[in-house]
Structure 1
């Protein structure tokens, strides 16, 4: 078992981010057995899972912007916003946490992206505003109060929600380790840029 001050953060392990889903990551389902085994091993005293949880008319959906298509980039609230296919709609099968994992071992399940006007890649902060000064989800405070000093991050997608969560965890004062083999990207073409971003953020890749 790891030291009690180390937490595991599993980001958005949901069917919509896997092959056949609305917004599939490259080989997104390949990491499920490893994450399931990691939770079953109970090596972590504190486990947090996030769940993308959008209303049907979420502002990040291309369907809400006439004349625009998925993966186009627009300006939303003064920030660049990638437009996505409708995904992880609240209550849908695609938004459920993957049933092959025993989530009873999780201490906290954090739903994010539920504000229809604001996207939420990170487990720690909403997308609105400059990095380090965006509205907090409260996760950092919750972890600090439990005595957590180090966070290990895995899940989907490597180049968006997992990366942003790792970066924000580091900004929030945690030592961060990125479990690379237990992540998958929307596009493998982004892997080099992700590694650079992690290095610049002082985040260790395992």
Structure 2
């Protein structure tokens, strides 16, 4: 698959809290960063997303008496998974992993999400109410992008929801599987099923070739 002038790389949440030792660590997260840098060097348009929560974020189990992480509650916009505290604004955990600094420097924009305490946000396009946009769709269209390639953390949540919303917004979507990692096998399988159903292509980094 060739990288073209209307393609963009979306690097999803390459942050300390999603890497080993972080508040919501994904196994193998830190090890993705060198490969993501190599990918970013090949794209003219790179956009990075960043989880950016307040301490009173509705999705933190610590904000609900007696609740434990990785259980669900009902909120105004539907079912919501409860998470350990992570990516709190201005905290070291919310910072980008130091090994991905070259990619962040290349980025034309950083899209912060999840800053509304009353609504969690997985997707780079919309908060979890599926109504509040981040501005990513308009930015991509202004840049002339028609196809987005996704990588980052975590495959089964923020990568998945960003990919699904990208399809709904009319973009061609490709997930680079070996540049992403999942939180759990069951949700990883569900994401893969969703991608097949929605026409999201999955490739490995080695499948990419530079355009002419």
What range describes the TM-score normalised by the shorter chain of this pair? over 0.9
**In structure 1, how many angstroms separate the alpha carbons of the residues matched to 2:28 and 2:56?**
28
Instruction: Give the alignment partner of residue 151 of structure 1, picking from 148, 153, 156.
Output: 148
In 2, are the aligned partners of 1:8 and 1:151 still within 8 Å (CA)?
Answer: yes
Q: Secondary structure at the match of 1:27?
A: coil
Per-residue deviation, 1:24: 0.8
The 5-angstrom pairing of residues 1-206 of structure 1 reads 2-39=3-40, 41=41, 43-101=42-100, 102=102, 103-129=104-130, 134-206=131-203
Relative to the length of structure 1, the TM-score reads 0.94
Per-residue deviation, 1:189: 3.2
In 1, are the aligned partners of 2:6 and 2:146 still within 8 Å (CA)?
Answer: yes
Q: Secondary structure at the match of 2:48?
A: strand
2:208 alignment partner in structure 1 = none
For structure 1, list consecutive stretches of 5 or more residues without a partner in the other structure: none
For structure 2, list consecutive stretches of 5 or more residues without a partner in the other structure: 204-212
Per-residue deviation, 1:190: 2.5
Aligned residues: 200
Q: Secondary structure at the match of 1:10?
A: strand
Q: Secondary structure at the match of 2:47?
A: strand
Moved over 3 A (4+): none
**In structure 2, how many angstroms separate the alpha carbons of the residues matched to 1:94 and 1:37?**
24
Per-residue deviation, 1:188: 2.6
**In structure 1, how many angstroms separate the alpha carbons of the residues matched to 2:156 and 2:69?**
17
Q: Which whole-Å deviations, capped at 9, do the CAs of 1:37-94 have from their partners, x for residues lacking one?
A: 222x2x2111100000001111110011011111110001140000001100000111
